[in-house]
Structure 1
Amino acid sequence: MQQRTQEITIIGGGLVGLSVALGLLMAGQRVRVLDGADSDARASQGNFGLIWGQGKGWDFAPYANWTMDALTAWPAFAQQLRGLSGIDVALDQPGGYEFFTDPTEFDAFKAELAQQAIHLGKRARYEMLSGDDLRSQMQGIGPDVVGASFSLCDGHVNPLRFLRALRCSVQTMGGHVRLGATVSAIRPQPKGGFALVLADGETLYTEQVVLCAGLGAATLARDLGFNTQVRPQLGELLITEKLGDRLPFLSSTIRQVDEGGVQIGGTKANAGLNDHETLPIMSKLAHHAVTVFPALADVRVVRAWGALRVMSPDGYPVYAKSSMHPGAFLVTCHSGVTLAPLHASVLAEWILNTSATPELEAFDECRFALSHAA
């Protein structure tokens, strides 16, 4: 007969799952993380590494403020990870740019940032720069750039090093990370708790379960009474050779990693579960990069890949507690890097329902039912 455990089980060992696990461990809980197969769609291994706030939540105040909380928390979080894992995630928050070559798109984003600033109040920190302003302040910006926004709050990390630091930190804190443990079904038990059926037929038991499986959460969410439908969004990246000189800027589409190579990205496409890179998109990315910074025309591209983002119906995070099965939680978002400090701290208070529980009702999945009703 199987014996129940008292630990909390996290399904999903990516950035979101490991961040949540770390927060629960820091709160004194026993935590087990079940990570799936290497063949799974893994957003955590293909992301851009940005810590970014520009435009996020411009039409949804709770997300604007949640993102700003995370940006502010990142320096202390990076230090915490280094202390636990011994790994430097290469946090760099020098401020970031959004470059535009289309005047209409530039004006539209300016309006979005103005609305976001209303939500953030005194915490809003951005400025709008014309193309001429940019070229007078920064050498090398292309003549077709009509303007850019700039925010001091934005930055980036080394994404793969960050993933490794999270896993090591969870293990240092006593968490158990089990690799190759794909959960095929979750069965709520009559007297409470959950049976987790693995793909190999093994069954594990847990008192509480937090579903952080990204695109793999679709079927399992229904087992727990959740109705959020996550969908994939394809983003493609180009990686250049390592450069001896540093780029004079960080942007949401062009970033130089700490090892010297330049990542070029920023595409969004609905391609189902197809994560293959495509020649037309790669050409478009290269053209954008050279338009912004013509010196990149002489740099060789050495790799390219596609990765699938995890998107909720409205693109914002979902933090939901199951009303049908107490002890079950759903956590999903596409900003796993930016929001990690909050997932590894205050979100644990929400799961544990302590006196410090944050107000996260705005992120509940009931908003989708309300929008349909409206």
Structure 2
Amino acid sequence: MTATGQDTRDAIVVGGGLVGAAIAYGLQRQGLTTVMLDEGDVAHRASRGNFGLVWVQSKGLGAPHYQHWTHASAGAWPELAADLLATTGIGVGLHQPGGLHFCFSDDEMAQRDALMGQLRREAGNAGYEYRMIPAAELRDMVPGLGPQVVGASWTPYDGHASPLHLLRALHAAFQDLGGHYRPNAKVTAIKAAPRDFTVAIGAETVRAPRLVLASGLGNADLAPLVGLSAPLRPERGQILVTERTRQVLGLPTHVVRQTEEGSLLLGDSKEDMGFDTLTQTPAMMRAIAHKAVRTFPWIAELNIVRAWAALRVMSPDGKPIYDESERYPGATIANCHSGVTLAGAHASLLAPMIAAGALAPEMSPFSARRFDVQKAA
């Protein structure tokens, strides 16, 4: 704190969700005194409504840079989980036994095989391992599979973790390392100059040479204040949660996963409902339940005990936006809809770039400038 009462740090991270917390933790681990400004649960983000997958397959088709980034993040996850446990004593429930994407017809299997094959070709020398598993073998891997399932794709990179434990652990580790956490801190103004940013939270201000905007859908309004663009839209997803049962699912899937406590999470929905997270859609809930029961008929015997909706942070092409301001060097933006999957990359790969003062050249395809090129075309 300066003599004038202004809080001065090495870095300011605006956003206390999974993206902001992972970056703030990574910056503090790099030795930068960092303040995390968390607007709180009123912020539009999916951190507490996340399905919890660490998922590589299906991501990055036609965009090898995104595939490589996701793959690298999955690879960084074990170290992140171990570091968080060592620092805080909080286990984040990471399991990476590989993951399954189910198919319900021979045509679906063929289409899925073609998609996975294209991902492998686009991976180039980085490699991309996958298998198409027929129903007979699949039933030995996941007992109780429904008769309509004809097979699945599997990659060894996939897994799952607890979003709530992860968020808690990131916040705790950040503060244990000396980071300064400001709850209920809604940004009201930003004064920007090259490597000199003053952020106002009501009557108080924080100043630093590095500013990271990681406030989810709130970045759409904040980005222009530092010469950046964040063309974002909300996409609502719903999740159903069953009562606890014995551990039966050893692998996560794209529609059902079992938590360490025994509950089953059922999901995989997409809705254009604006910013509405309060209204549950019965038709969508029925569709989620139907698909889960079609996959595992025994789920029909379990009671649904909770349901919620949350907003994904979506760019026009569904891929993350990482950008740094040309007008105000030192300002960086980070947006994605995969806060759990990409936590490893945000803490271990992105944060060191921000600490060093510039994003690596291979991050340029993630710039929001790609949308200007698309419009011109």
**Do Structure 1 and Structure 2 share a fold, with TM-score over 0.5?**
yes
Matches within 5 A, 1:1-374: 1=4, 3=6, 5-121=8-124, 123-135=127-139, 138-189=142-193, 193-198=196-201, 200-275=202-277, 276-353=279-356, 357=360, 359-374=362-377
3-state secondary structure, aligned to 2:86: helix
- Preserved contact between residue 10 and residue 21 of structure 1 (Cα < 8 Å): yes
Greater displacement, 97-106 / 351-360? 351-360
Q: CA deviation at 1:367?
A: 1.2
- Preserved contact between residue 5 and residue 207 of structure 1 (Cα < 8 Å): no
Amino acid at match of 2:258: Q
3-state secondary structure, aligned to 2:254: coil
Greater displacement, 125-134 / 157-166? 125-134
Quick one: distance in 1 between partners of 2:209 and 2:139? 59
Quick one: distance in 1 between partners of 2:352 and 2:27? 8
- Preserved contact between residue 237 and residue 265 of structure 1 (Cα < 8 Å): yes
The superposition leaves residues 88-134 of structure 1 with CA deviations (integer Å, 9 ceiling, x where unpaired) of: 11111111100122444443332221111112246312111233442
3-state secondary structure, aligned to 1:161: helix
Quick one: distance in 2 between partners of 1:348 and 1:135? 42
Greater displacement, 346-355 / 240-249? 346-355
Q: CA deviation at 1:278?
A: 1.1
3-state secondary structure, aligned to 2:211: strand
**Pairwise CA RMSD of aligned residues?**
1.9
Structure 1 pair 105–54 and aligned structure 2 pair: CA distance change class (3 A): same
Quick one: distance in 2 between partners of 1:354 and 1:307? 33
The superposition leaves residues 225-257 of structure 1 with CA deviations (integer Å, 9 ceiling, x where unpaired) of: 112211111110000000024224420110000
| Runs of 4+ in structure 1 over 6 Å off | none
Quick one: distance in 2 between partners of 1:299 and 1:327? 51
Structure 1 pair 11–136 and aligned structure 2 pair: CA distance change class (3 A): closer
3-state secondary structure, aligned to 2:362: coil
Identity %: 41
- Preserved contact between residue 106 and residue 147 of structure 1 (Cα < 8 Å): yes
3-state secondary structure, aligned to 2:310: strand
3-state secondary structure, aligned to 2:229: coil
The superposition leaves residues 145-199 of structure 1 with CA deviations (integer Å, 9 ceiling, x where unpaired) of: 122111121100111011100001101111011100011332215x75222222x
Amino acid at match of 1:17: G
Quick one: distance in 1 between partners of 2:341 and 2:58? 13
Q: Which runs of 5+ in 1 are unaligned?
A: none
Q: CA deviation at 1:218?
A: 1.0
3-state secondary structure, aligned to 1:329: strand
Structure 1 pair 250–355 and aligned structure 2 pair: CA distance change class (3 A): closer
TM-score (norm 2): 0.93
Count of residue correspondences: 372
Q: Which runs of 5+ in 2 are unaligned?
A: none
Quick one: distance in 1 between partners of 2:250 and 2:25? 35
Amino acid at match of 1:300: N
